[in-house]
Structure 1
Amino acid sequence: MITAEVKKISGSKKELNIVMPKEDLEPIRQRETQKIRKDVQLPGFRKGKAPLNMVKRAYGQYIEAYTMESAVQEAVEKAIEENDIQPVGSPEPKKVEFNDDGDLVMGVEVEVMPEIELKNYKGFEFIKDKYVVEESFVDNEIEKLLKQRATHEEVDRPVQEGDVILIDMQQLDEDGTPQKGRLYTDISVTIGENRFDSEIEKMLIGKEKGVPHRIEKEYPADAPQKELAGKKEYYDITIKKIEQVTLPELNDDFVKSVAPDVESVEAFKEMVRKNIETEYSREAETRLHQELMQKILDENPLDMPVAMVERYLDNLVDDMKRRDPNADERSLREYYRGEAEQNLKWMYLKEEIAKAENIEAEEKDIEEFLNKIEDEKIRKLYEDMPGLKDQVKDNIRDEKVTQFLLDNSKITENEIPLT
């Protein structure tokens, strides 16, 4: 009779110390001998008809190997069944040997569903950002849109604020000698945007195109780049092209060209304001949810079986490889491993919280979700496919759990002006 002692290694792993008596090994050995006998032909005998003792002498090494393999498999399966263990991966034998009595002794590690003990998931405190969109911020966003629709006209005059210029830039030594490998060509610079170098941009205002301009740039003593602090750099900059940028007029016609359903400039500004508020509010909500998740994970430690993490990564990597067949699988797995483990923990903790608080998706919740789907074909797909409907049910339950956790936390709003 097979015996097994079960030890807990972690919340997701158990060790089985199994003993199979030698008398249980003999039937397995006989069975494996018969299997080999069926497939071999010894001199003087037809295939499958050789005496067992001759088969044992000729193939004894193979018989013992197959016997050991089958015995381990049967013993592990029986021990798992009798101890009501639900493995999530393949059992991993760590030790297989015979004791002094001839019994087969083995140590096997088995990953199981994580043991979840909810400790603390209510009464947390969070700060949620609330953005106040000021008029100047709306105006800046609209100006960006105007610049996207601007016209560019090459002009023959000195550089002015707002121009787009094309330059070649040669770095020099202190004595004016060009530095090898420090010639930069066809650099596009918008004067006044300070995306290139605010100091050099100012120096180029009023300069003509077609001739090199000697520029000296001095870094302050407290420059962020310590190696440049207090130093000077010298350049010859040649302006190759100057373009005057003309923004379209912000009027009702422009508004209609951008947003046909909007009738006036004031309505357009209000639309832009609402879009900004929606975008920033969504980002704040996402950050709050991330902080909530991390807090729940920190307060309720959970061991995830490696096998479950690997399966999660399998699906994730397969999806990414479909999008980019050249993506390196090994790099993807390593990059997303931590995220995969975190997402699995969060998923199981939400399930456990839902059970503890009797939170579930009701039929009316599912109907409400389906009614929001305008495309009749897609809605019918959800209704007819049980798997998709179950997924909707799980998603709704998860949303309810998240809202429950937020409702049972103290959330303080932090106003941030967008200027």
Structure 2
Amino acid sequence: MQVEITRVDECKRKLNITISGDVVSKELSRIYQEMNQRVNIKGFRKGKVPRKVLKQLYKRDAEVSLLQELVPKACEEVFVANNMKTVSDYLLEKYELEEGNGLKLDISVEVIPDIVLRDYKGVKIQKKSSDVTDEDVDNALKQKQHDSAELKTVESRGAENGDEMVLDFSGKIDGKIFEGGEGKDFRIILGEKKMVEGFEDKLLGAKAGEKREVEIAYPQDAPNKALAGKKVVFEAMVKEIKERILPQLNDEFAKDLGDYNDLNSLKEKVRDDIKNTKEYYIKLEHQKEIIEKILEENPFTPPAILVSREFEFLKKNLASRLSGGKAADINFGKESEKIEQELLKEAEKRVRESLLLEKIAVEEKIAVEDNEIDGEIRKRAEATNQNFNALKKAFQQNEAYEVIRSRIREEKVLNFLLNCSIVN
């Protein structure tokens, strides 16, 4: 077999393959022999049809069978011999078949580009503090107070900030209810400002059973583009108001929350938890900082097909989030082009990051053992109350097992890069 490989660009290769006449003739003989045993042709006994007749009637079928048999084998041989890591199915652009002269193939395929790593060790990153202040602890304790509050139905007064309100509402634009503008038994805590600006303020003083009309002028930069710059009139029916009675911060409060001897032991646990959380997010920030710098030092063009797949994934994920977790196609209106450009940019960055981390893993011989994957599967099995062996078998039957391996490897590479970075 003769092979000529042409580099079209960073990620595309063109293969000119010639398979010898002897190999082609041998394979065609086998194909016609098998065909002879299957076909029924008037005037001939099964298995006794001359090859010349078979060729006249089934030449195209024989060629298809020949290509299906020889092309995949030839491509695989070329890929392995030349260490080509393909990211797409090969495309047979053209072929020429002459029994005596063999089979000539013109094939194109996308591959992972040759990445020459530069400056990925000793990346300088900015030191960040994980110190925990008394204010941090106080705020966390206040949240625990809030979470442990007793709810008492309010009947004699109007709603105040801090109260929990249950209401039904419907929002209208020009007299028509807009999509997503209705809510039943909707719970809000007045003063938390989680609704559109002005909505909660206009419900202050309302009593259970009272109807209120709330007019809101949405700003031009509202996240929901369908409401941007529009005047919306909400009709709200207050169904219930509850006052949140906070427990006192004392030793009894700490004991009620768990295995704490007193309030001080609770404070120490809260302080430790906050520190661990800060350290976790600092680690993520440092890893992100390192990746950004390595990407900058190692420019290359990623395979278009991988970018396209990641782009479609991001687009579907965004549509799902905006539609409340449902699979949906969403028209972003005038912002469509801008949003898609941003998603495409993010997709390209993600693919480049993934390929770089994979290259570093190979360079530094960072591997993932099966017992590490088992550990991750065991965690998931315990978290979801599933049988470990059954879950592992299910993962091994699809891509999930290798996806876990890939994620663990990426995390190990990121930890490696972090450990050999320089913190200023």
CA distance in 2, matches of 1:328, 1:195: 26
| Pairs within 5 Å for 1:51-200 | 51-67=50-66, 70=69, 72=71, 76=75, 84-86=82-84, 88=86, 90-97=89-96, 104-110=103-109, 114-159=113-158, 160-166=160-166, 188-196=187-195
**1:279 paired to 2:309:** no
**1:345 paired to 2:345:** no
Q: Give the number of the structure whose alpha-carbon radius of gyration is greater.
A: 1
Structure 2 equivalent of residue 243 of structure 1: 242
How far has the Cα of 1:299 moved from its partner? 2.3
- Asked if the contact 1:167/1:239 (under 8 Å) is kept, the reply is yes
Deviation per residue, 1:156-179 (Å, 9 max, x gap): 433345333456779999xxxx96
2:282 is matched by which residue type in structure 1?
A
- Asked if the contact 2:286/2:418 (under 8 Å) is kept, the reply is no
How far has the Cα of 1:249 moved from its partner? 1.9
- Asked if the contact 2:291/2:353 (under 8 Å) is kept, the reply is no
How far has the Cα of 1:308 moved from its partner? 8.5
How far has the Cα of 1:151 moved from its partner? 1.6
Check 1:194–1:97 CA distance in 2 against 1; reply closer, same or farther (3 A cut): same
Check 1:402–1:198 CA distance in 2 against 1; reply closer, same or farther (3 A cut): closer
CA distance in 1, matches of 2:285, 2:212: 49
CA distance in 2, matches of 1:91, 1:130: 51
| Pairs within 5 Å for 1:205-354 | 241-260=240-259, 262-301=260-299, 341-342=351-352, 344-354=354-364
Structure 2 equivalent of residue 5 of structure 1: 4
- Cα RMSD between the aligned structures? 5.4
Q: Please, which moves more after superposition, 129-138 or 299-308?
A: 299-308
- Asked if the contact 1:121/1:405 (under 8 Å) is kept, the reply is yes
Q: Please, which moves more after superposition, 266-275 or 109-118?
A: 109-118
How far has the Cα of 1:219 moved from its partner? 7.7
How far has the Cα of 1:275 moved from its partner? 0.9
SS of residue matched to 2:278: helix
SS of residue matched to 1:130: coil
2:137 is matched by which residue type in structure 1?
V
CA distance in 2, matches of 1:223, 1:329: 25
TM-score under structure 2 length normalisation: 0.62
SS of residue matched to 1:157: coil
Check 1:204–1:352 CA distance in 2 against 1; reply closer, same or farther (3 A cut): closer
Check 1:4–1:397 CA distance in 2 against 1; reply closer, same or farther (3 A cut): closer
SS of residue matched to 1:4: strand
Structure 1 equivalent of residue 322 of structure 2: none
Check 1:295–1:47 CA distance in 2 against 1; reply closer, same or farther (3 A cut): same
**1:409 paired to 2:421:** yes
2:281 is matched by which residue type in structure 1?
E
CA distance in 1, matches of 2:42, 2:184: 85
1:36 is matched by which residue type in structure 2?
M
1:277 is matched by which residue type in structure 2?
K
SS of residue matched to 2:285: helix
CA distance in 2, matches of 1:42, 1:145: 86
Check 1:272–1:37 CA distance in 2 against 1; reply closer, same or farther (3 A cut): same
**1:39 paired to 2:34:** no
- Asked if the contact 1:3/1:79 (under 8 Å) is kept, the reply is no
- Asked if the contact 1:212/1:239 (under 8 Å) is kept, the reply is yes
1:405 is matched by which residue type in structure 2?
L
CA distance in 2, matches of 1:169, 1:69: 63
SS of residue matched to 1:106: strand
SS of residue matched to 1:7: strand
- Asked if the contact 2:199/2:216 (under 8 Å) is kept, the reply is no
Check 1:307–1:149 CA distance in 2 against 1; reply closer, same or farther (3 A cut): same
Check 1:253–1:116 CA distance in 2 against 1; reply closer, same or farther (3 A cut): same
Structure 2 equivalent of residue 49 of structure 1: 48
- Asked if the contact 2:148/2:246 (under 8 Å) is kept, the reply is yes
Q: How many residues are matched? A: 363
Structure 1: 5+ residue runs without aligned partners?
Answer: 314-325, 376-380, 382-386, 413-419
**1:17 paired to 2:43:** no
1:4 is matched by which residue type in structure 2?
V
CA distance in 2, matches of 1:122, 1:54: 68
Check 1:112–1:193 CA distance in 2 against 1; reply closer, same or farther (3 A cut): closer
Check 1:188–1:44 CA distance in 2 against 1; reply closer, same or farther (3 A cut): closer
- Asked if the contact 1:10/1:303 (under 8 Å) is kept, the reply is no
Check 1:249–1:87 CA distance in 2 against 1; reply closer, same or farther (3 A cut): closer
Check 1:133–1:108 CA distance in 2 against 1; reply closer, same or farther (3 A cut): same
